[in-house]
Amino acid sequence: MTMTTVATTLFAIVELPYAYDALEPYISAETLHFHHDMHYAGYVAKLEELVEGTRYATMSLEDIVRESDGAIFNNASQAWNHVFYFEQLAHNPRHTPEGHLRRAIDQTFGSVDELRKRINTAATSLFGSGWVWLATDGDGRLYIVSKPNAGTPLTDGLTPLMCVDVWEHAYYIDYRNHRKQAVEELWRVLDWRVVEQRYEDAVY
Ligand code: MN
């Protein structure tokens, strides 16, 4: 009888849903290799180390984010945030939102351009590392939420719809210290289809 030992991990590394060079020239393959394979995977590895033997070991990532604090929260939230961030980008994105989300954006911000401007401003003015989020409550209202470090609107009872990673590791290889430009170029690879689907799932 042959025994097969399967190496298991508590939290799977979610592969990129596109090739590493799919987002060029806006996000380089080099950036994605570092961002996904080193930074994101590093948070997952660290989280596994921290939760081993604790009550968090059998929880979903999202539940850990909602219920933990300190180092476990930081690594769980960074793991969750990165999967969410990578998922919303595409080689052939749709550049404008439609449907319910489009109506909510127009009602709340006046236009999609105005929403982009406000998120760009929030992202460029966030001091240090963190995330800027578009999020919704259960009633479909929209919020722009700035969070330092690993922060997420999940802990405010909101559902995230899209995010901008403003940690330097997200853009420094391609844009050096030009965060403003990095944030503006992110819209070129943001797939509004994904954001719309998240809004539909959260509200309708
Ligand atoms: Mn990142």
Centre of ligand 1 to C-alpha 57, Å, is 23
DSSP code per residue over 64-87: HHHH--HHHHHHHHHHHHHHHHHH
Centre of ligand 1 to C-alpha 83, Å, is 10
Run of H or E including 36 = none
pLDDT value of position 10: 81
Average pLDDT over residues 112-129: 98
Centre of ligand 1 to C-alpha 20, Å, is 15
Centre of ligand 1 to C-alpha 167, Å, is 6
Centre of ligand 1 to C-alpha 111, Å, is 28
pLDDT value of position 101: 98
Domain ranges of the chain: 99-203
**Structure confidence at residue 6 as a pLDDT band (50, 70, 90):** very low
Give ion ligand 1 contacts, CB < 5 A.
165, 167, 170
| Predicted confidence (pLDDT) per residue in 10-59, tens digit | 889 999 999 999 999 999 999 999 999 999 999 999 999 999 999 999 99
Centre of ligand 1 to C-alpha 40, Å, is 7
Q: How many CB atoms lie within 10 A of CB 68?
A: 22
Amino acid at site 16: L
Topology of the domain comprising 99-203: minor pseudopilin epsh fold (3.55.40)
DSSP code per residue over 77-142: HHHHHHHHHHHTB-SS---S--HHHHHHHHHHHSSHHHHHHHHHHHHHHS-SSEEEEEEE-TT--E
pTM here is: 0.95
| Predicted confidence (pLDDT) per residue in 170-203, tens digit | 999 999 999 999 999 999 999 999 999 999 999 9
